[in-house]
Amino acid sequence: MKNEDYAQRIRKYRDEKHFTQELMAYRLGMKQNTYSILESGKSKIKAEILEKIAEILEIPLSSLLEDLLPIKEKILKNGESGGGGR
């Protein structure tokens, strides 16, 4: 998965909330320029940071990952079985 994919999704949700990069950085406990690098996709985003971003944006983590998950994970997420159910 490309960092740019996550970054683009994060920016979309941040813009919808009318949150600034400065606010996001403050809530994440980092400098604005560090947050800017994350949101630009120039740096890897750790899972715990993604979780915290989702919390700040008041969205489920799956909203950041949706359409980016491999097919098998999408099927499992939707509760479909791989076959042979009752």
CATH topology of domain 3-67: 434 Repressor (Amino-terminal Domain) (1.10.260)
Q: What is the pLDDT of residue 44?
A: 86
pLDDT in tens, the chain (86 residues): 577 788 889 999 999 999 999 999 999 999 999 999 999 989 888 889 999 999 999 999 988 887 655 544 544 556 544 444 44
**Three-state SS letters, the chain:** CCHHHHHHHHHHHHHHHCCCHHHHHHHHCCCHHHHHHHHHCCCCCCHHHHHHHHHHHCCCHHHHHCCCCCHHHHHHHCCCCCCCCC
Q: What is the pTM of this model?
A: 0.73
Could you tell me the residue ranges of all domains in the chain?
A: 3-67
